[in-house]
Amino acid sequence: MDPTRIALFDLAEKRLDWAAQRQTVLAANIANINTPGYQGQDIQSFDQLLAGAGDLAPAQTQPGHMAGTRPGGVASVKKNPPAIKALDGNGVPLDEQLTKVADTETTQSLVTTIWKTYMGMFTTALGKSA
């Protein structure tokens, strides 16, 4: 076991990366709220990310083929089909997007608070003052 790598901090880092990526996708949805035909997007849930769902790499079927690359980011982006579309074909309900933004901000705040609390405990355990 590597004492410099603590699983809780790795998990917190993944969760913060996920939250940042989700905020980016939701911000793009809100920015395109009046774009005709725009379809909202979201990323896979954090539970799916941890379970490895959607974490597929391109297959290298021949020895001469180049290795594939994965799209950037932590989680895969997916289309979010709306229940109701506007007359112009836009499928981004503002209230739903704002609820998701608030939920993601709450998650980010919680993870940051847990991170700070554990760092404070480690500092105390090492006998250093904060």
Structure confidence by residue, pLDDT tens digits, 10-62: 888 999 999 999 999 999 999 999 899 888 899 988 888 888 755 455 666 77
In this prediction, residue 111 carries a pLDDT of 92
The tokens for 110 are 């919680």
The segment with the largest mean pLDDT, out of 89-93, 95-99, 122-126, is 95-99
C-alpha–C-alpha distance, residues 115 and 128, integer Å: 17
Please compute the mean of the pLDDT values over residues 76-83 and round it to a whole number: 70
From 107, 104, 119, 105, select the one nearest 8 (Cα to Cα).
Answer: 119
Burial of 67 (0-12, 13-18, 19+ CB in 10 A): exposed
In this prediction, residue 55 carries a pLDDT of 46
DSSP 39: B
